[in-house]
Structure 1
Amino acid sequence: METGLREAATGGVAPRSRSTVQRIADLRGATRELARLRPRPRLERLSGLHNPWGHAAARTDAWRFLDLCEDPGIVDRVQSAIGPDIVLWDSELHLEAASYQRFVDEGREGRYWPVMPLAGAVVLVAPEQVQPLTCIELDRVVSGLPSLDPGEPLYVIRYMPATSHFLRDARAPANWIAMEEQPLINHAVRPLWLVRGEDRAGNDFVTGFSLLVPRWAGIQPKEH
């Protein structure tokens, strides 16, 4: 992990003071607020919804979504799927689950993952459903996708094992394809969260944790 420190990077999650059920209830209110927006935001604007430094933070409380992504109960499920060293790298909200169903049917889940070797797990949170949580290994998403209510919102959380490396190079095929097909999304500058275990692949956990300074900010008028 590129922190400048000699100690090994270790992960941590949200405290257990609040239950998974309570966190999903909080999410339910947030997704309803977003669904009421007119015009409805583009899917790309709801990408990285857990990122307090992302563009989605202007529309909702990103910390509420991050709190759910770090929930110990959810991370336990992810650990069962991909092992004890876990990195949160992406999430997005589909205001209608039918949108994600099409996304999967088109073979796009995994297509934009800048992860080498490619591995991970997807957690689906359907806050309006009786059984709101599903955790699926990335290579089983097509066969393991549960029955979804097409008109209800679906929050998709993506985790990778910390034994894989997250590619920051914008020229990496997954990043290049993502920017061609989803121009508002740049995974290369996304922040990463080590939510459990240790980083074992030299990942960069520094990039993305602040707002970029506009280029014009460094251009100052000359004094006469």
Structure 2
Amino acid sequence: MLPRVYADMLDRWQERDRTLAEQAQICTGCQRQGGRCAWRTTTASGYVTLCPACSGEAFQAYKGHLQGVAYSSLRRTHRADDYLCCLCRESRAFIWDHCHEHGFVRGPVCSSCNTFEGKGVAFLRREGSVQHLLECRGCRKARTLPRRFHLDVVLDHLEDVERHGRCRRRPHAYRGEYAHGVHHITLYCHAHASTSKWTKVVTVAEAAGIVRAFVESTLSSASVS
């Protein structure tokens, strides 16, 4: 049994929490109702709620003018939060995304897209994500991606080309053991319960070749469109 005063305090807290959650869904520009935290964006002074239309009016679109510029040389006058996120194009950008291997700026991104970049295959499959990674002049010139994406590209490639016997279903590829420059990748077909798993061996050199072909295909598709 809780004391009545304590129970009343909990009730007031729950009501206040519900009210704040509802307010966080309303665009501060046009008062439109959005989904839960869908339009929340981080700023230097805290979070604000802006729908895509109001964000487009408040912040400028990034035109790629810093492509090839080293992240370490950015001046304070180049503020990421002056721009829309160049990935989702709906939220105010929060930071300058850059290639940690070559050091070049890729573009301004919001905190949500910056977090999603760590999702591997899921990020690579999102429209425009690979092109964004290739905004790095070093990656584009070498026809590669940052090393942390190499295995993700290989896994997606194997799911495209590997099949369990004559089965037409796309298998699932999983990260396996890595030793002495060789990836041992496990593939699994849900259609065959008894003999559903097999292993594919991919060397680092083969993985680099798969990544290069993937990048070439992406750039070719972009030039055609």
Asked if TM exceeds 0.5, the reply is no
- 1 or 2, which has the higher helix percentage? 2
TM-score (norm 1): 0.23
TM-score (norm 2): 0.23
